[in-house]
Structure 1
Amino acid sequence: MNWVELSGRATVFSYSIVRGFPGLPDIVLVPVVVDLPDAPGARLVSNVIDVDPADVCIGMELQVVFSPVRDGWLLPIFRPVENGHVART
């Protein structure tokens, strides 16, 4: 097994909009399946953040960001890319 460094870019292959969650009725999540162009055939399930759920679409360009979870673990999540730069809201 070899570890390879990827660019962090991805595109939306599939997604869903989840409104409400047990104990968190007001939360809105956008889980996605992303294609990783640097690893043909590889897909990852994650979340998209910092975007209006209505703006998410198949083929949307994304960039990975890492969110601390606990005990030093980082969770890969994605933000939209706009005009070649990661969108920040």
Structure 2
Amino acid sequence: MNIELLEIELHGISGTITNYTRNPYIIGYIESLKRFLHDHNEKMIYVIVEKLVNWYDKTIDEIMVNDYISNKEDHLETKKLLESVLANEPKQV
């Protein structure tokens, strides 16, 4: 996924994550991602997306077994979207 598509998906990504957690770090990352997308700061976009992917790596199993979570598929899709952003990160030379 490229940065432009991330902008399109941002509302859904943000809603899915913030409906699950009140972790101030994660909420802060979402707010920073919005700002960096607005400012077209690609370097920081990738930093924040990596932090969100790392959070999902640690949290997704808990989400999937939680009986109170009704939108498990949304979380899987959000994680996949974020991972696809990192997969398209330009390589440093």
Is TM (by shorter chain) over 0.5?
no
* TM-score normalised by structure 2 residue count: 0.24
Report which of the two has the higher share of helix.
2
Report which of the two has the higher share of strand.
1
Which structure is richer in relative contact order (CA contacts within 8 A, separation 6 or more)?
A: 2
* TM-score normalised by structure 1 residue count: 0.24
